[in-house]
Amino acid sequence: MLIVWDLHWNCRKVGLAQLHDIFEGTRIDLHVHTTPSSSDSMLKPEELVELVVMNDLTAVSMTEHDFILEPHAQELFRQKYQNLLINFGMEVSTDLGHMLVFGLPSYISGIRRLENLRKVADEYGAFVIVAHPFRRLFDPVTAMRTGEKFDFSPEEAAEKMDVFKYVDAIEVANGSNTPQENYFALEVADILGLSGTGGSDAHSTSGIGTFATVFSKNIQSSTELLQELHQGNFHPAHKNIDDNWVRFIGGGLS
């Protein structure tokens, strides 16, 4: 048994096997919403930081809806928690779904059209991830309401859904999704050869610690995080029954 220190310099004990997980690479929740920046969230930024540390994550990305804190406010928040990598992105609502965007300085007019968002992202060197692309598509209530049943195979979805033409990666492990939605996204990502990410999509204190994205590198800044995203040096992760972070490989479709 060894001693380590958490973000607030509180002492805690961990086993040798767990110590390897704590210090190797970067484990980041890439998809979190906080209040008041996201009106549908009840999660306070200070609560988020506490939960990130409690769940053995080494970083977090705050992805508010169609909004990002201006740079000075970002820096003030980072200064309060200097032992944790805090990144700021956006979840942008577009005509083809929700996109997690990293690398834009602010919300830019016109990016509600995904085609325009792709152009703007390329201009800024930003990274675009389609968030929860299959959410509620398998829900019979949704089918009754829309009058359309989603009956694509993963191969058909990869070929026929235009959204995948405009993104750099696919969120395949989302804490607010059903297992079927996540597994289907993972299969589509594999077919397309796109990298998969993980995030809690937390809007309250109950969501943190479900899914994350793991980078092999010990990332020190948002600039470095963006570089590693573009390099594709990451994989989705979830907690196993022993409460350790492991690679998310899905579980097959029923």
Global pTM value: 0.87
Task: Please tell me the predicted confidence (pLDDT) of residue 18.
Answer: 39
Domain boundaries, the chain: 26-247
pLDDT in tens, 86-138: 999 999 999 999 999 999 999 999 999 999 999 999 999 999 999 999 998 88
Task: Please tell me the predicted confidence (pLDDT) of residue 1.
Answer: 35
Task: Please tell me the predicted confidence (pLDDT) of residue 251.
Answer: 63
Task: Please tell me the predicted confidence (pLDDT) of residue 252.
Answer: 52
List of the chain residues with pLDDT < 50: 1-23, 254
Residues 66, 86: Cα–Cα separation, whole Å: 18
Q: Which CATH number fits domain 26-247: 3.40.50.300, 2.60.120.40, 2.40.50.100, 3.20.20.140?
A: 3.20.20.140
Task: Please tell me the predicted confidence (pLDDT) of residue 132.
Answer: 98
